[in-house]
Each structure stands twice: as C-alpha cells, then as structure tokens.
Copies of this chain bind each other. A is one copy, B any other.
Amino acid sequence: KTENPISLSPPTKRSTASVVRAEANQPINPVIRKEEAKVVDSVLVAELSKPLTAYCRCWRSGTFPLCDGSHVKHNKATGDNVGPLLVKKQE
C-alpha cells in the first residue's frame, strides 16, 4: 500500500556555494492572515477543477493558499530554494 504518494521530478542541482540557509528562529510568514493563530487550509480533491493546482509554501503569494509564482522573487532576493506543492488529478 502506498502511504505517501509523492512523485518527485528530477531536481535541478545547484552549486554548494549558492546554498543559503534560513535563520532558525525567525517567523516565515510576513503578512498572510496574521490575525489567525495558525493558518491551515484544506483542499477537497473531489472539487479540483484543473488537472494541476499549485499551492504556495513560500508565504509570499498574493493568491495564498494558491501559488502565484512569488517564490521566484523570494528565492532570488534571499538565496532561498522554496517552491510550491503541486496537486495533480491525473498523471
């Protein structure tokens, strides 16, 4: 039985010199729904309308919880390497 169906594309490698780590004890969400104690979202797969939907994990999207590509700017500005979670209805 498949417990955790994660499919990984072959990752793009980068040089060790470009690796930038985050400060361990900093918050990572600047502005999204800060009035909530914990920002949790739910995706109902039966209601997904598109074959692929990208969900933000960088906390910089203007359409959070969806990814709007803002991770690109964040990664460039900070040297980070974060990206979205892709939810796929078909292979």
Binding site for B on A (CB under 8 A): 1-9, 11-14, 16, 19-31, 33-50, 53, 55-59, 65-66, 71, 74-75, 77-91
Contacts and interface: CB of A to CB of B under 8 A. Distances in A.
A67 to B, nearest CB: 10
A85 B53 CA distance: 13
The A interface is mostly helix, strand or loop, or mixed, namely: loop
5 contacts: A6-B42, A14-B35, A14-B37, A21-B34, A28-B78
Copies of this chain assembled into the complex: 2
B38 A59 contact: no
A74 to B, nearest CB: 8
B40 A86 contact: yes
